[in-house]
């Protein structure tokens, strides 16, 4: 009969969970809270071998309710989180991290920092792979908060510096923050992942202290290491860094060329096109034409007046100079079966004219050149 | 479209998923996921952080208590698709069916039997004609000597078959030798189609039916589309939906969007040659292109936007292998993409015809058995996405062999779980030109083409069935995009919101990393209205329930933003062809208003839908329901004669003897019944059928009124006439009085008998007897009020003493109330006895009662559910009394 008891217990537990789920999905936080107080009983006799145990269930549901319940407050939330942390060893770091996120979103930066420091010093037996990742994440976020403090101190110093007054203690403190932030940030960006925020902060630190080589290395690694995902932002950061450093056009172009290969529809392609168009080399101008054509292939650019003006300017230039008309022909050959319907339909002509006259002019010019006599854009 | 300046941090691993999977009931709650620093200005004193999930979203609230029908049910009656109980072996139904486990036993023999009965010509045509002179099926003996030589009397054989059916599931079932002999003789030559071949085909069909019952992916995408009014000028849109008995008619119905959307005019109708599985639509250059997929045909229609002109069919293609996907290009007019189950992807252009982009029967990233394929468009009109259960790839139609990249992989890259599979991919072009939605049975992902493999958003949706339908409503000017997810079998509908610009309109709404905002919200399902409908007669209720719980087959929605009250209309299509609609209204951002109203209205039992006055919008919904119900009952009355009565065969409810007449079984029969039951309970065998000498004389049938038509036929007459309730009222008040008299009479007799009792009878049992009887006689009509008809029906309906119709002693609800420890405590039952009592009572709550013993003990049974439970616990030792006497 103990088996039967277990079965009954399981059944009522499931029913209770269903009620909670139902209430949550209908935003009935009070009802959900009442059911949850009953569900807590399931902690006592945890027979389940499921992938999410009751303690995690309670943590998740409780958090969700406390986020939305009209009578909850931050103090209660913190108290609940502390209890949840002690409920399961396996999830300690995860709960800590989530707690910190909530504090951060509510502007309690100092409390969040304390929690991060506490979590970082936590040790329990051998760490699993997931816990290892979570620990690294905790350290990275602490690095981020250290960076924020550093940046605050820096601003104070800069303001004071303008008055011709420097505070040694503040400066000392700032350097302290730098060291702490740099150590943690450096660690996480070695691991494959998307670390836009961390990379940006780390590069900012390095640039401030004049370590440009290290910064360049970090950005190159982030952009070109094949273990990392093909993140357009990595290339954007590198390009921006090179621009700040006043690098040659050539290296800027090569950085953007790679971005073009990954994401032909990136908004930097307009800059890229302008840069190439200004170039004296014939080949580069040709690439510029390819770039702007490729950009306008994408639905997101369909009504972008800037892109159309880039194209019309270059096409006009080519037609007037009567050189390299074959460039246009080549580009057009692969598009002639679908660009007319995609860009130059009668319906679009009418709508563009109503909505954006300048766009309409640019498109009409391009259409006139590309479609020749069979023009029906107007 | 800009790429967000910074994305949420995440790890990136490669390889197969490591996390052990399984449906996690609450995995989507209580997590921010990650936070990102990003404020309106960089020069702030405090950095501001935004979460990946959990920011506040828009508030949408359901305007009505349930979804409301948009269309009247069609004229022809709907044939429900097979349910598990139709094809499963009966005894295995008792075991709980667990999804994913293929331990189900299919009822092969029954289906084969159905085939023989339904298609005798195909099964035994020629030999049947040859032999029919030689088979005699009458009851009479064969007398003519001439025919005797060449004619066999088959009646006994048929009786044997009937008996076999009746003994189904009995462990001591033996094949009748006569049957075995016959089947041995004729197995090889009787059948038109060789039996082995037929069985193979049937078995294949059965397993296929079963797997489609577990998960039917042919409906992916949904067969409902909404064509919004041109530029929102008018409020007349078009609903494209399938209809007809086999869902093979395509309707284009004008719908006026008002408080409740209503149809206008009669729909444009097309009859197709197959069941419509999917309806996809996209608007290009002010014209709607509607693609329709059935298993072997795909067609495309053009609906001119402005003039409200009739839809024009453009082209149809036929496929050899069932098509699994059809999507319409949002970029170029008259372009579609088609996938077939053989693993082929085509770009279909009205002008240039079909272009094969890929042919690969294997799945892309790892091996999976499913032949399902999907394809959709991307931000680049020449690049298409192709999907199977393992992931998504994008390929360039201009050079499909060379130019392709992986967009999504079921693997560690996206943080998937083991066993996770792609269910529905969708291009979110209307919300963001380079984003895609991918749903799996566990999670929902938003992907950006510009950053392949890494989902920009991931959330565990916690739905009970995999979401086969999705619909996106773009939020303009930095407002959140709304995504609707719909499941088929469970009819679940879930509303999610996500945002790809943090700071809203005020700061220009620049692009930023994707965030899931607000909380997911469950919407009304079609079946949800059942609890609000007025009480129906049982068989009609069953019909209605079957109709309303039919799996969902499609989903469409529209936002109305021009009004002062923004609202969202959601249409849901069911497999029965019904289209239901619900309205959500937008609540301006306000502190969480008192939600007590919402929580009160959803309390079980209350039905605001039907309580509201007719003038209010709720009343409008009620009116709509009444009309729908009336039309449904009209439509189903005609076929009811054909389909309903035979399936509820009388033979299952009553034995033949019941139907023949009121004469009860003889005392001998009753003895035999009792012996049989007892032996069955003990699991023994009956060796000899000699009646035992020591049997009490049968009690007179005191409970039946003398004269007049027998109660069974009056009851049936009343039930067919529809005034069964009234009959019941009369009957119950009458029989209560009757029974009281009978009980008093018996008590007197038993008192007399007690005097003669031997002393060996235990003292306690006689004591309980006493108390029980005293309580019984106190029990007046107030306790046996008609509020509890099921208790009485056990006693009152069949002729006393005949094998009774087994109905549960009481509806489960009062029993559960009885069993709860609180109610037991209220009754003052000590704690240690509560469990015993609960165990005992649970017997009554679970199944049909134990076979009633002869009338002598029926009094105690009668009072268990209605009188105090103390009594029933006291009657426990008494049940063992016969043994103590031995």
- Say how many Å lie between the first and final Cα of chain B, rounded: 92
**Taking the domains of chain A in order of start, what are their residue ranges?**
126-263, 293-377
- The radius of gyration of chain B from alpha carbons, rounded to an integer in Å, stands at 34
d(CA A167, CA A160): 8
For chain A positions 243-302, those within 8 Å of chain B (CB to CB) are: 262-263, 265-267, 297-301
Confidence tier at A378 by pLDDT (50, 70, 90) = very low
Q: Which of A51, A229, A266 sits opposite B12 (nearest CB)?
A: A229
List of chain B residues whose C-beta atoms are within 8 Å of the C-beta of residue A64: 29-30, 519
List of chain A residues whose C-beta atoms are within 8 Å of the C-beta of residue B331: 299, 342
Residue B689 confidence (pLDDT): 61
Residue B298 confidence (pLDDT): 95
Indicate whether B783 pLDDT > 70.
Answer: no
Which segments within B430-480 are labelled E, that is strand?
Answer: 435-440, 443-448, 457-460, 467-473
* Domain at A126-263, CATH from 3.30.420, 1.10.3470, 1.25.40, 3.40.800: 1.25.40
Cβ pair B239, B224 in contact under 8 A = yes
d(CA B826, CA B522): 38
For chain B positions 811-850, those within 8 Å of chain A (CB to CB) are: 839
Indicate whether A71 pLDDT > 70.
Answer: yes
User: Which of A14, A25, A256, A340 is best to mutate for the B interface (most B CBs within 10 A)?
Assistant: A25
Record: contact A51-B22, CB cut-off 8 A: yes
Q: How does DSSP classify residue B434?
A: T
> What is the percent of chain B with per-residue pLDDT over 70, rounded to a whole number?
68
Indicate whether B377 pLDDT > 90.
Answer: yes
For chain B positions 181-200, those within 8 Å of chain A (CB to CB) are: none
**Taking the domains of chain B in order of start, what are their residue ranges?**
58-92+471-503+511-587+618-636, 107-166+175-214
Of A27-36, A159-168, B73-82, highest mean pLDDT: A27-36
Listing DSSP states for B241-310 in one string gives EEESTTS-EEEEEEEE-SSS-EEEEEEEEEE-SS---EEEEEEETTEEEEEEE-SSEEEEEEEESSS-PP
Indicate whether B813 pLDDT > 60.
Answer: no
User: Which of A299, A302, A304 is best to mutate for the B interface (most B CBs within 10 A)?
Assistant: A299
Regarding predicted confidence, which is higher, B683 or B429?
B429
Distance from CA of B520 to the nearest CA of A (A): 6
Confidence tier at B356 by pLDDT (50, 70, 90) = very high
d(CA A234, CA A228): 10
pLDDT tens-digit map of A97-116 = 999 999 999 989 999 999 99
Regarding predicted confidence, which is higher, B179 or A208?
A208
**A27: closest chain B residue by CA:** B521
Residue B175 confidence (pLDDT): 63
Give Cα A221 to chain centroid, integer Å: 18
Record: contact A265-B1, CB cut-off 8 A: yes
List of chain A residues whose C-beta atoms are within 8 Å of the C-beta of residue B330: 299
Distance from CA of B503 to the nearest CA of A (A): 15
Burial readout B712-751 (b: 16 or more C-beta within 10 A, e: otherwise): beebeebeeeeebeebbeebbeebbebbbebbeebeeeee
* Residue whose C-alpha is closest to residue B582's, from B224, B236, B68, B71: B68
d(CA B532, CA B535): 9
Instruction: Calculate mean pLDDT across residues B222-247.
Output: 86
Instruction: Calculate mean pLDDT across residues B551-567.
Output: 86
Residue B442 confidence (pLDDT): 93
**A133: closest chain B residue by CA:** B11
List of chain A residues whose C-beta atoms are within 8 Å of the C-beta of residue B30: 59-64, 67, 98
Residue B824 confidence (pLDDT): 46
Q: Which helix (H) or strand (E) holds B605?
A: none
Residue B787 confidence (pLDDT): 36
**B349: closest chain A residue by CA:** A338
B275 touches chain A (CB under 8 A): no
Residue A51 confidence (pLDDT): 57
Lowest mean pLDDT among A23-27, A334-338, B176-180: B176-180
Instruction: Calculate mean pLDDT across residues B801-825.
Output: 42
List of chain B residues whose C-beta atoms are within 8 Å of the C-beta of residue A68: 519, 592
Regarding predicted confidence, which is higher, B449 or B54?
B449
Residue B425 confidence (pLDDT): 96
Distance from CA of A248 to the nearest CA of B (A): 24
d(CA B820, CA B799): 35
List of chain A residues whose C-beta atoms are within 8 Å of the C-beta of residue B20: 51
Instruction: Calculate mean pLDDT across residues B213-225.
Output: 91
A158 touches chain B (CB under 8 A): no
List of chain B residues whose C-beta atoms are within 8 Å of the C-beta of residue A300: 1, 379, 433-434
d(CA B865, CA B808): 11
pLDDT tens-digit map of B715-762 = 788 777 777 777 777 777 666 677 777 778 877 777 666 544 433 333
A57 touches chain B (CB under 8 A): yes
Record: contact B379-A298, CB cut-off 8 A: yes
Instruction: Calculate mean pLDDT across residues A352-356.
Output: 91
User: Which of A7, A22, A27 is best to mutate for the B interface (most B CBs within 10 A)?
Assistant: A27
Regarding predicted confidence, which is higher, B95 or A156?
A156
Indicate whether B500 pLDDT > 50.
Answer: yes
ipTM: 0.93
pTM over 0.80: no
Instruction: Calculate mean pLDDT across residues A148-157.
Output: 88
Three-state secondary-structure class, residue B155: helix
d(CA B267, CA B252): 5
Three-state secondary-structure class, residue B427: strand
A336 touches chain B (CB under 8 A): no
A11 touches chain B (CB under 8 A): no
Indicate whether B92 pLDDT > 50.
Answer: no
Lowest mean pLDDT among B272-286, B602-616, B674-688, B824-838: B602-616
Confidence tier at B665 by pLDDT (50, 70, 90) = low
Confidence tier at B696 by pLDDT (50, 70, 90) = very low
Residue B685 confidence (pLDDT): 72
For chain B positions 429-448, those within 8 Å of chain A (CB to CB) are: 429, 433-434
HSE, side-chain direction, 13 A CA sphere, residue A155 = 10
Indicate whether A44 pLDDT > 90.
Answer: no
Q: How does DSSP classify residue B641?
A: I
Instruction: Calculate mean pLDDT across residues B26-48.
Output: 73
pLDDT tens-digit map of B415-469 = 999 999 999 999 999 999 999 999 999 999 999 999 999 999 999 999 999 999 9
Of A9-13, B117-121, B838-842, highest mean pLDDT: B117-121
Indicate whether A139 pLDDT > 50.
Answer: yes
B8 touches chain A (CB under 8 A): yes
SS (H, E, C) chain A: CHHHHHHHHHHHHHHHHHHHHHHHHCCCHHHHHHHHHHHHHHHCCCCCCCCCCHHHHHHHHHHHHHHHCCCCCHHHHHHHHHHHHHHCCCCHHHHHHHHHHHHHHCCCHHHHHHHHHHHHCCCCCCCCHHHHHHHHHHHHHHHHHHHHHHHHHHHHHHHHHHCCCCCHHHHHHHHHHHHHHHHHHHHHCCCCEECHHHHHHHHHHHHHCCCHHHHHHHHHHHHHCCCCCCCHHHHHHHHHHHHHCCCCHHHHHHHHHHHHHHCCCCCCHHHHHHHHHHCCCHHHHHHHHHHHHHHHCCHHHCCCHHHHHHHHHHHHHHHHHCCCHHHHHHHHHCCCCCHHHHHCCHHHHHHHHHHCHHHHHHHHHHHHHHHHHHCCCC
């Amino acid at each position: 009969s103990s088996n039967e008891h277990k079965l009954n217990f399981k059944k009522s537990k499931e029913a209770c969970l269903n009620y909670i789920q139902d209430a949550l999905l209908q935003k009935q936080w009070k009802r959900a809270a009442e059911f949850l107080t009953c569900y807590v009983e399931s902690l006592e006799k945890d027979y389940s071998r499921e992938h999410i145990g009751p303690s995690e269930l309670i943590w998740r549901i409780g958090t969700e309710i406390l986020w939305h319940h009209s009578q909850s407050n931050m103090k209660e939330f913190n108290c609940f989180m502390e209890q949840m942390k002690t409920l399961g060893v396996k999830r300690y770091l995860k709960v800590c991290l989530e707690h910190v996120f909530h504090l951060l979103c509510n502007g309690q930066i100092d409390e969040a920092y304390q929690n991060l420091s506490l979590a970082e010093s936590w040790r329990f037996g051998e760490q699993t792979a997931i816990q290892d990742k979570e620990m690294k994440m905790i350290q990275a976020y602490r690095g981020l908060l250290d960076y924020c403090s550093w940046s605050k101190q820096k601003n104070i110093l800069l303001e004071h510096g303008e008055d011709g007054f420097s505070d040694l203690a503040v400066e000392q403190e700032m350097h302290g923050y730098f060291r702490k932030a740099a150590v943690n940030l450096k660690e996480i960006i070695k691991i494959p992942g998307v670390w836009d925020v961390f990379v940006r902060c780390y590069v900012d630190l390095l640039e401030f202290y004049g370590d440009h080589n290290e910064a360049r290395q970090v950005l190159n690694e982030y952009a070109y290491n094949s273990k990392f995902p093909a993140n357009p932002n990595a290339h954007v950061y590198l390009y921006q860094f090179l621009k700040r450093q006043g690098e040659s056009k050539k290296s800027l172009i090569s950085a953007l060329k790679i971005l073009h290969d990954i994401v032909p529809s990136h908004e930097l392609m307009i800059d890229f096109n302008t840069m190439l168009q200004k170039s004296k080399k014939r080949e580069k101008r040709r690439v510029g034409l390819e770039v702007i054509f490729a950009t306008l292939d994408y639905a997101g650019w369909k009504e972008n007046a800037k892109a159309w003006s880039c194209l019309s300017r270059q096409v006009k230039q080519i037609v007037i100079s009567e050189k390299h008309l074959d460039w246009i022909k080549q580009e057009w050959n692969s598009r002639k079966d679908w660009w007319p319907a995609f860009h130059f339909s009668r319906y679009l002509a009418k709508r563009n004219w109503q909505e954006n006259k300048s766009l309409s002019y640019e498109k009409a010019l391009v259409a006139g050149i590309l479609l020749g006599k069979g023009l029906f854009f107007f | 479209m800009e790429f967000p300046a910074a994305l949420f941090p995440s790890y990136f691993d490669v390889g197969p998923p490591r996390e052990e999977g399984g449906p996690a009931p609450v995995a989507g709650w209580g997590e921010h996921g990650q936070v990102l620093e990003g404020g309106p200005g960089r020069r702030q004193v405090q950095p501001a952080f935004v979460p990946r999930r959990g920011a506040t979203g828009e508030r949408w609230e359901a305007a009505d208590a349930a979804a409301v029908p948009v269309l009247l049910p069609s004229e022809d009656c709907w044939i429900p698709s097979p349910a598990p109980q139709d094809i499963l072996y009966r005894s295995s139904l008792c075991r709980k069916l667990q999804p994913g486990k293929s331990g189900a036993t299919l009822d092969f023999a029954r289906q084969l039997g159905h085939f023989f009965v339904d298609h005798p010509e195909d099964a035994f045509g020629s030999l049947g004609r040859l032999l029919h002179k030689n088979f005699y099926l009458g009851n009479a003996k064969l007398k003519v000597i001439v025919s005797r030589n060449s004619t066999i009397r088959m009646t006994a054989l048929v009786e044997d078959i009937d008996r076999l059916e009746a003994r189904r599931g009995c462990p001591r079932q033996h094949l009748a030798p006569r049957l075995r002999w016959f089947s041995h003789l004729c197995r090889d030559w009787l059948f038109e189609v060789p039996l082995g071949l037929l069985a193979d085909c049937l078995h294949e069909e059965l397993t296929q039916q079963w797997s489609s019952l577990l998960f039917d992916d042919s409906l992916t995408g949904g067969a409902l589309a909404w064509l919004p009014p041109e530029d929102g000028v008018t409020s007349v849109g078009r609903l494209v939906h399938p209809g007809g008995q086999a869902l093979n008619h395509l309707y284009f119905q004008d719908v006026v969007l008002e408080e409740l959307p209503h149809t206008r005019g009669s729909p444009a109708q097309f009859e197709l040659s197959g069941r419509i599985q999917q309806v996809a639509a996209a608007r290009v250059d002010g014209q709607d292109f509607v693609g329709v997929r059935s298993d072997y045909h795909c067609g495309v229609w053009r609906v001119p936007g402005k003039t409200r002109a009739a839809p024009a069919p453009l082209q149809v293609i036929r496929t050899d292998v069932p098509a699994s996907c059809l999507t319409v290009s949002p970029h170029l007019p008259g372009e579609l993409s088609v996938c077939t189950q053989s693993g082929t992807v085509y770009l279909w252009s009205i002008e240039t015809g079909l272009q094969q982009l890929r042919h690969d029967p294997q799945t892309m990233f790892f091996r999976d058995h499913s032949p399902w394929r999907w394809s959709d468009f991307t931000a680049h009109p020449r690049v298409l996405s192709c999907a199977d259960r393992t992931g998504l790839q994008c390929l360039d139609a201009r050079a499909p062999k060379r130019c392709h990249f992986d967009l999504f992989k079921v693997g560690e890259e996206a943080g998937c779980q083991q066993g996770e599979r792609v269910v529905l991919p969708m291009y979110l072009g209307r919300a963001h030109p380079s984003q895609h939605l991918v749903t799996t049975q566990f999670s929902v992902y938003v992907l950006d083409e510009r950053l392949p493999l890494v989902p920009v958003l991931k959330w565990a949706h916690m739905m009970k069935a995999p979401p086969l339908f999705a619909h996106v409503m773009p939020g303009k000017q930095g407002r959140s995009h709304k995504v609707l997810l719909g499941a088929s079998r469970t009819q679940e509908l879930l509303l999610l919101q996500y945002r790809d610009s943090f700071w809203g309109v005020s700061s220009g709404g620049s692009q930023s990393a994707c965030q899931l905002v607000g909380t997911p919200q469950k919407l009304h399902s079609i079946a949800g209205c059942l609890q609000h409908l007025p009480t129906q007669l049982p068989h009609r209720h069953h019909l209605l329930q079957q109709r309303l719980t039919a799996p969902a087959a499609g989903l469409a929605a529209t936002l109305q933003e021009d009004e002062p009250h923004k609202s969202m209309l959601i249409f849901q299509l069911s497999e029965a062809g019904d289209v239901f609609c619900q309205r959500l209204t937008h609540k301006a951002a306000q502190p969480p208003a008192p939600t007590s109203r919402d929580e009160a209205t959803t309390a079980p039992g209350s039905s605001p839908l039907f309580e509201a006055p007719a003038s209010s919008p709720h009343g409008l919904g009620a009116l709509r329901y009444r009309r729908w119900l009336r039309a449904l009952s009209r439509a189903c009355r005609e076929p009811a004669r054909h389909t309903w009565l035979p399936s509820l065969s009388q033979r299952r409810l009553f034995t033949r003897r019941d139907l023949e007449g009121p004469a009860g079984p003889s005392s001998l029969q009753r003895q035999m019944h009792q012996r049989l039951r007892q032996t069955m309970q003990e699991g023994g065998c009956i060796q000899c059928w000699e009646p035992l000498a020591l049997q009490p004389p049968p009690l007179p049938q005191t409970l039946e009124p003398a004269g007049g038509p027998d109660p069974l036929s009056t009851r049936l007459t009343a039930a067919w006439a529809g005034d069964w309730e009234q009959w019941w009222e009369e009957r119950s008040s009458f029989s209560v009085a009757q029974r009281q008299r009978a009980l008093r009479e018996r008590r007197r007799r038993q008192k007399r008998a007690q005097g003669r009792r031997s002393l060996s009878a235990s003292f306690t049992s006689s004591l309980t007897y006493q108390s029980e009887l005293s309580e019984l006689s106190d029990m007046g009509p107030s306790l046996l009020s008609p509020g509890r008809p099921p208790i009485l029906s056990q006693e009152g309906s069949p002729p006393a003493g005949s094998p009774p119709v087994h109905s549960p002693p009481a509806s489960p609800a009062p029993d559960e109330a009885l069993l709860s420890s609180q109610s037991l405590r209220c009754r003052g039952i000590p704690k240690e006895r509560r469990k015993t009592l609960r165990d005992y009572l649970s017997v009554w709550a679970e199944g049909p009662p134990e076979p009633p013993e002869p009338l002598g003990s029926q009094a105690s049974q009668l009072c268990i559910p209605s009188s105090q439970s103390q009594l029933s616990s006291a009657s426990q030792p008494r049940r063992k009394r016969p043994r103590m006497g031995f």
